[in-house]
Structure 1
Amino acid sequence: MNKEKKVPERSCIGCGAKREKKELLRVLRSPEGLWEIDPTGRKNGRGAYLCPDPECLRKAEKRRGLQKSFRMEVPAEIYRRLQEELERLAK
């Protein structure tokens, strides 16, 4: 009974690459309707995963990745705020 623990994988909504969950950032829409990046991956709400690369966020915006993941319209302002937060986390 030497079972290896399965590592959870998720796909990036920008580039589509499959990676370990802990390597990706979680974009969260809370039950109150707030959008944010959840570095812990544990906050309550619906989430989508994104590589910690600003280019992947640009690809996600072009491919409408958040709209598809959350099945709703996402204003361009949300992408701008997420871009700022992503840059802040990179520092």
Structure 2
Amino acid sequence: MKKRKVPMRKNILTNEMEPKRLLVRIVKNKEGEVALDPTGKKPGRGAYVGLDPAAVKQAAANKTLERVLETELSAEFYQQLYDYVDHQKARLDLFGELGKKH
């Protein structure tokens, strides 16, 4: 059986290429609204963040996402992102690689 190509995306917090399924997409739409995109299908400019809660806290302190997305982000958005990343990391640690088929 032929191996499938694993889609890779750049983690904007570490500048490293990682498998897409191990990243969280953040999207900015035409109206300038920023939201989490768990499905990866919302229209707009996307940026990818890894499943590292400490890196998200650091990004909030350095305003990394604000520079990348060129918009102001609220503390509530950073908290929502932190909670989501923390939850996904816990799932990954508990169940192993997300979406992996045996």
Task: State the TM-score, normalizing by the size of structure 2.
Answer: 0.63
Following superposition, the deviation at residue 38 of structure 1 comes to 1.8
Contact 2:51 2:86 in 1 (8 A): no
Gaps of 5+ in 2: 92-102
CA distance in structure 2 between the partners assigned to 1:63 and 1:15 by the alignment: 13
- Kindly provide the amino acid, as one letter, of the partner of residue 58 in structure 2: K
Local SS of the residue matching 2:47: strand
Aligned twin of 2:50: 51
CA distance in structure 2 between the partners assigned to 1:68 and 1:6 by the alignment: 31
% identity of equivalent residues? 34
Q: Number of matched residues?
A: 88
Aligned twin of 1:68: 67
Contact 2:53 2:86 in 1 (8 A): yes
- Kindly provide the amino acid, as one letter, of the partner of residue 21 in structure 1: K
Local SS of the residue matching 1:72: coil
CA distance in structure 1 between the partners assigned to 2:29 and 2:56 by the alignment: 19
Contact 1:13 1:60 in 2 (8 A): no
Following superposition, the deviation at residue 50 of structure 1 comes to 0.5
Following superposition, the deviation at residue 88 of structure 1 comes to 3.5
The higher relative CO (CA closer than 8 Å, separation ≥ 6) is in: 1
The answer to whether structure 1 residue 87 and structure 2 residue 81 are counterparts is no
Aligned twin of 2:97: none
Q: CA RMSD in A?
A: 2.6
CA distance in structure 1 between the partners assigned to 2:15 and 2:76 by the alignment: 23
Local SS of the residue matching 2:71: coil
